[in-house]
Structure 1
């Protein structure tokens, strides 16, 4: 069987758009040199649609021109049999374009999410500024001076923590040492059992955010 060579056709198109070698065309289109060889050998009917889309865009020709330039009657009918019709080709191109747009939007969303994450981290660090700048020094002094009262360094932790929780709309469930009626929805017993309404003592604070429970307050029997 006579092998058809479309190399001259391809070189003419390449020269028009400024590509001197098949290797440079391969890189520009993002397809393998084997795929380009298939095109040169007239095997366009056996090539994947996404490869043809990339080549047609780089060569700056339409789908119909690509098919006509690299097909003979038998191969053209084979191509159309494989891909149904030009209408289906256009549909496949639209699908590919949508896939490209989807990938672009996905990348954009990832970049936006990373930007929001960094912005969140910066705003949180600003709130915790006094803690992260002064706490290491205060801790160092406490280790050196065992007489240093813990009350003097508590504001370094207490103040920024309260501000952070306030900015995030996080509210505490009671206070440590508070005696309150037991509610199993919001309280967790450290030991033993208790009936709802029975008075218990808060040992560890729980938290709510926008009416949603984050952590139950841990309580003990009196």
Structure 2
């Protein structure tokens, strides 16, 4: 169009006498929608022969289709990436909701879960206690914790070096690294400490581990 001193499609409309709709049809390669006299007007406006016009429109149509196809592919890829990002964000939110729900349930049952392993240990030493049946029932809680990925911190009456990150002492003068006994187990979820194990320098009643 620049060779014919036409700077825009609007200028071409005015010079050729074609409507905007008709020029859109030309740009889409739909030259079959135009009458012969309309094509001749367009050719004269561009200083082309009718044969050159038809040939050029065929090339133009192919080029525009290729550009349109490339643009469509780019747009589809962008949409795919956005969908993938949204899926990842939704999965992260879902995982966080599950984590929050598990921790909320754990904290509601924390007293029971902390005392249960100690009660089980006592029953092992004194199987005639009435609590034996209750401990068997509470085994389902232990299975639930395993399914959540929760782990014990220590085992009942185990002797371990005191670690303030993992252990809650019964007195304030216990030093880091000092040997202590676990009275009540703690719980952790990976590196996250849910509750520390309760420890003491001695076992209840002077019992040996």
- The TM-score range, normalised by the shorter chain, is 0.3 to 0.5
Structure-2-length-normalised TM-score: 0.37
The structure whose Rg is larger is 2
